[in-house]
């Protein structure tokens, strides 16, 4: 599979205040079929973007923490 890029199941976008400071995150699953360019701001974003908006990644990390990452024998 050299030269081919694997499809992502989830895209995580961090919105930065400065290079060292993350404001918030957008977590977009592949099945959402969301395509294109979106400009997100602190206020007045498209309503449909809010379902992907998270202040932290803690809920995502906790959800995946319950799933085994290796196949059980």
- The whole-angstrom separation of Cα 19 and Cα 45 is 22
pLDDT of residue 64: 75
Domain definitions of the chain by residue range: 10-65
pLDDT of residue 10: 86
Is the full-model pTM beyond 0.85?
no
Let me know: does 43 contact 50? Beta carbons within 8 Å. no
Let me know: does 25 contact 57? Beta carbons within 8 Å. yes
pLDDT tens digits for 15-61? 898 888 999 999 988 888 887 777 777 777 788 888 889 999 998 88
């Amino acid at each position: 599979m050299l030269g081919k890029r694997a499809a992502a199941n989830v895209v995580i976008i961090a919105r930065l205040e400065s290079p060292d400071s993350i404001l918030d995150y957008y977590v977009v699953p592949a099945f959402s079929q969301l395509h294109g360019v979106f400009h997100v701001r602190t206020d007045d974003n498209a309503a449909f973007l809010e379902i992907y908006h998270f202040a932290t990644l803690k809920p995502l990390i906790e959800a995946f923490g319950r799933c085994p990452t290796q196949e059980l024998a």
